[in-house]
Amino acid sequence: QAKDMGRHTYRFFKPAMNEKAVERLSIEADLRRALEREELELHYQPKIDLTTGLTCGAEALIRWNHPTRGWIPPAQFIPIAEDCRLILPIGEWVLGEACRQAQRWAEAGLWFGTMAVNVSAVQFCELNFAQRVFAILSQAGMDPKRLELELTESVLMKGTESTAPNLQTLRSEGVQMALDDFGTGYSSLSYLERFPVDCLKIDQSFIRQISAVGAKSTLVTTIINMAHTLKLRVVAEGVETKEELQFIKNRGCDEGQGYYFSRPLPSSVFTQRLLLSNSV
Ligand code: C2E
Ligand code: MG
Ligand code: MG
Ligand code: MG
């Protein structure tokens, strides 16, 4: 009986695991070619200043148009890219492309505030990360003050010896540093003391279906107040409804981002949006 069960379990799990491993290897192989084949693309999601209602920034979000699988979301391939360190060339490309796009908008007289780029822990832990960023900025001709780098708490948790120097060097040149998905990691507050940043992005799970009563509302209110005490900007991620917007606005949150305002947009569509609302 036990043997039967064992065999059954074996049959049940082995093919599924193989399938997953094979799939992963195939994605890894395709990802190696994705850059040179120009299958990667950036979409841009506006960030809205909640006092003026104007677009005050954009977050660059990577998209992969796979030749046979179609669009693959970043959650499916970024972790693989991190494991095999392909995130280094990919991340480098993302930074360059986002900075070039920001500069194109600036030169067209379309003011858009800051360009935010997500940075993986693997990238940020590279010894020369800050220097790479400065090289990319100067190639694009972009003012460091208009770049914002979004790190997750995992970056600070890993905290290699280059973490604090990278952070400090970047900030000393005016690059804005934001902590992404805030509230989903561990003991966030102690990290803020060791690794100072400019901005907190409250994770969308806290914003979703928020109501005036309940634990979420207390948490969000507390995070906003705490951030302001520490002189940090606060962005609410994943704002989908008018109610969620009202809630964060009433509590003094600085910026909002989410489907309520706009989904991430291809650069051409984002340009149209800027032409309509933000031209100077
Ligand atoms: P993130 O940086 O926290 O980005 C926010 C994610 O939430 C994006 O998903 C965005 O499309 C989605 N989102 C925005 N507003 C709403 C909303 O109102 N409702 C809902 N349900 N979702 C919303 P996306 O583009 O699939 O990216 C997922 C994650 O992948 C990002 O989370 C980020 O961690 C990572 N990622 C994306 N692009 C890059 C990149 O260029 N480099 C690195 N290292 N990571 C990236
Ligand atoms: Mg982000
Ligand atoms: Mg986030
Ligand atoms: Mg996220």
In DSSP notation, 67-119 reads: TTTEEE-HHHHHHHHHHTTTHHHHHHHHHHHHHHHHHHHHHTTB---EEEEE-
Closest atom of ligand 1 to 259 CA is 18
Q: Is residue 55 scored above 70 in pLDDT? A: yes
pLDDT (0 to 100) of residue 16: 67
Is there an atom of ligand 1 within 6 Å of 240 CB? yes
Work out the pLDDT band at 278, boundaries 50, 70, 90: low
204-207 contacts: CB < 8 A, separation 24 or more?
204/237, 204/238, 204/258, 205/238, 207/236, 207/237, 207/238, 207/239, 207/240, 207/244, 207/248, 207/258
Q: Is residue 8 scored above 60 in pLDDT? A: no
Is there an atom of ligand 1 within 6 Å of 103 CB? no
Which bound ligand lies closest to the C-alpha atom of 209? 1
Angle, CA of 279, 248 and 241, to the nearest 5°: 75
Residue where the block lists tokens 């909002």: 256
Query: Per-residue pLDDT averaged across 178-195, rounded?
Result: 82
Pocket test of ligand 1: the residue of 118, 148, 177, 260 to mutate, having most ligand atoms within 8 Å of its CB, is 118
Instruction: List the structure tokens of 69.
Output: 């699988």
Closest atom of ligand 1 to 73 CA is 26
pLDDT (0 to 100) of residue 226: 93
Work out the pLDDT band at 187, boundaries 50, 70, 90: low
Contacts of 6 (CB under 8 A, 6+ apart): none
Which bound ligand lies closest to the C-alpha atom of 202? 3
Residues around ligand 4, an ion, CB closer than 5 A:
181
Residues around ligand 2, an ion, CB closer than 5 A:
118, 150, 180
Q: Is residue 146 scored above 50 in pLDDT? A: yes
